[in-house]
Amino acid sequence: MILSTWITTLLGGLLATQGALAITLNVEDPDSIKSAAKTVASAMITYYNNRNEKAIPGKLDDTWWEGGSMFMILIQYWFLTGDTQFNNAVQDGMYWQQGDDNYFPSNYSQYLGNDDQVFWGLAAITAAELNYPERSGQPSWLSLAQGVFNTQVPRWDTSSCHGGMRWQIWPYQSGYQTKNAISNGGLFQLAARLALFTNNGTYATWAERIWDWSASTPLLRKTWVIADSTSCESQCTDHGDYQWTYNYGTYISGAAYMYNYTSGTQKWKDGIVGLLGVSDQFYPTGKTYDDANGNILSELTCEPSGKCDRNQITFKAYFSSWLAFMTTIVPGTSDMVMPKLKTSAQAAALACTGLSDGSHCGTKWYTQSWDGTDGLEQQMAVLGIFNSLLVPFKNEAPFTSDTGGTSKSNPSAGTNSSDVIPQIHPVTTGDRAGAGILTAVFVAGWSLAITWMVRGG
């Protein structure tokens, strides 16, 4: 023991001087995965603790939505590892940003998109499903997820394309004329999860409505290719076809909950299998991908060019963890998703040799070495895939109200507020002028809005 410790220390020292202290990961050993996850999570939280806006719980610098998605991944992490050390920070942030029980806090609501809000709702339903600790005197996790659902559903927009969620909420936002996959897929997933947790058919009806509507547009094609976005002007016939992992992940996950909720209906199984088939593109082969051999998850639209923005860097976290949780509620999917998640996680560990402590991850995993980038987002992506490896070891399905889920339902959460904004009809010229003034006032106060409007995805 002493000798091997001594050798490890020596070796560690040697490697550290070369800046190449890798994260050890044995994908078949839960203790090894937990330890790797802890290392990656700790480095992530260090970014969080050192942010400029650290006086505001849950608010990351220059982005609001990523707080919610980060907490979602940390809630999974707690469930899968039992490590409670981040729970206070997670609870502080999740409660501070709750708004009127609907994750639409007035500080930021003027420039949020439906996708931004829904990610906090997905964090809340994750907390409900995993029986994440609640604080007394605070709304339940389930009710917070219901609050997001209740504020989004009135925004269902039939003034174009016979339905659909717009990307952005306000007419003065550039994405207002767009209907996109993540906003629709996000609410679809949230509704499906609420249906399974509460057994309330209203949520299932909405989930199916959103899926069917998506399937009437390029957002969910018969070939199972998901377009990222489509425009209201074209009545949702045109399409921006950038391929992103999280778009597939959100529809697959929602279909998985619906499959389970409907006791195994073929429609949802077909969707899962079809979308998984097209998702194979995210395990690319070819010269660019070196010896990845089709086994390493890649955000292929931006990674080879090195142009992933901070949002896009996180997508692999959602894709991998959502697919892994699916295996607990849709029998037969484990063999379809786990092998490539394992090889990807192994590669990700090799990409986490950055900075002096050798625990900072790069953006690309297929290079199987650190690519020189680092950040909270890179850590989050790797934590997501490490979480996914732990799902089969934990081997527990998300709780529902019938199977031990304790979070309390409040079907009318979030509705007693001015945040319930019904769909706003297409802007006339007069409205545009008004919106222009609003925008000017707004941008003066919120220069961050600019960052948000350019968010691609």
Ligand X SMILES: *[C@@H]1O[C@H](CO)[C@@H](O)[C@H](O)[C@H]1NC(C)=O
Q: Which residues bind ligand X (CB under 6 A)?
A: 56, 59, 96-97, 105, 107, 200, 202, 260, 263-264, 328-329, 331, 397, 411, 416
State the minimum distance, in angstroms, from the CB of residue 250 to ligand X.
Answer: 19
State the minimum distance, in angstroms, from the CB of residue 411 to ligand X.
Answer: 4
State the minimum distance, in angstroms, from the CB of residue 388 to ligand X.
Answer: 16
Q: Residue 328 or 378: which CB sits closer to ligand X?
A: 328
Q: Residue 88 or 174: which CB sits closer to ligand X?
A: 88
The CA R_g of the chain, rounded to the nearest whole Å, is: 21
- Cα–Cα distance list, 337 to 31, 171, 283, 295, 333 (Å): 21, 40, 11, 11, 6
Q: Residue 105 or 354: which CB sits closer to ligand X?
A: 105
State the minimum distance, in angstroms, from the CB of residue 200 to ligand X.
Answer: 4
Q: Residue 263 or 428: which CB sits closer to ligand X?
A: 263
Report how far residue 227's alpha carbon sits from residue 161's, in angstroms, rounded to the nearest whole number. Answer: 15
State the minimum distance, in angstroms, from the CB of residue 151 to ligand X.
Answer: 11
The encoded tokens of residue 157 equal: 């927009």
Q: Is 190 exposed, middle or buried (0-12, 13-18, 19+ CB in 10 A)?
A: buried
Bridge partners of 166?
179
What's the one-letter identity of residue 324? Answer: A
State the minimum distance, in angstroms, from the CB of residue 56 to ligand X.
Answer: 4
Residues 297 and 344 sit within 8 Å (Cβ to Cβ): yes
Handedness of CA 205, 206, 211, 214 (dihedral sign): positive
122: closest CA among 100, 105, 147?
147
State the minimum distance, in angstroms, from the CB of residue 110 to ligand X.
Answer: 12
The number of residues making up the chain comes to: 457
Q: Residue 35 or 202: which CB sits closer to ligand X?
A: 202
State the minimum distance, in angstroms, from the CB of residue 103 to ligand X.
Answer: 10
| DSSP per-residue letters across 288-338 | GGTT-TT-S---TTTTTTT---HHHHHHHHHHHHHHHHHTTTSTT-HHHHH
Q: Residue 203 or 366: which CB sits closer to ligand X?
A: 203
The encoded tokens of residue 62 equal: 């220059």
Q: Residue 107 or 285: which CB sits closer to ligand X?
A: 107
Residues 256 and 272 sit within 8 Å (Cβ to Cβ): yes
The encoded tokens of residue 228 equal: 């990222």
3-class DSSP state for residue 202? helix
Q: Residue 142 or 297: which CB sits closer to ligand X?
A: 142
